[in-house]
Amino acid sequence: MVPQRSGWTSICVVMAVTDPEAENKYERASMFVVPVDNPGFKVVRNIPVMGDVGEDYMSHGETKLTDCRIPLQILLGKREKGLF
């Protein structure tokens, strides 16, 4: 996950729960390709992964979506199939 401050990316892949009531827990999430400048999208912090803190870059990031509208056109794959 790389935020806009890196200067070389403009999108992030976000997995979000889109059907919390789905009987199969693996069919609750969908994946989206979200522009980092989308209103309501914010990178909160870098998350260290396997000891790599990514001091001068982002490896994995915690994001916050506040009233962030995500159009269906940026769905990655099929709805509720984010884990497949």
SS3 for 26? helix
Is pTM beyond 0.75? Reply is: no
Q: Please, which pLDDT band fits residue 55 given cuts at 50, 70 and 90?
A: low
Q: Which domains does the chain have, with CATH numbers?
A: 4-76 (2.40.110.10)
Residue 4 pLDDT level (bands cut at 50, 70, 90): very low
Cα-based torsion angle of the residue sequence 20, 21, 26, 32 in order, rounded to the nearest 10 degrees: -40
User: Predicted confidence band at 45 (pLDDT cuts at 50, 70, 90)?
Assistant: confident
3-state secondary structure of 69: coil
Q: Identify the pLDDT of residue 8.
A: 58
Nearest-angstrom CA–CA distance, 36 and 5: 10
- In three-state secondary structure terms, 18 is coil
Instruction: Examine the pLDDT at 56 and tell me if it is beyond 80.
Output: no
Tell me what the mean pLDDT of segment 28-47 comes to. 90
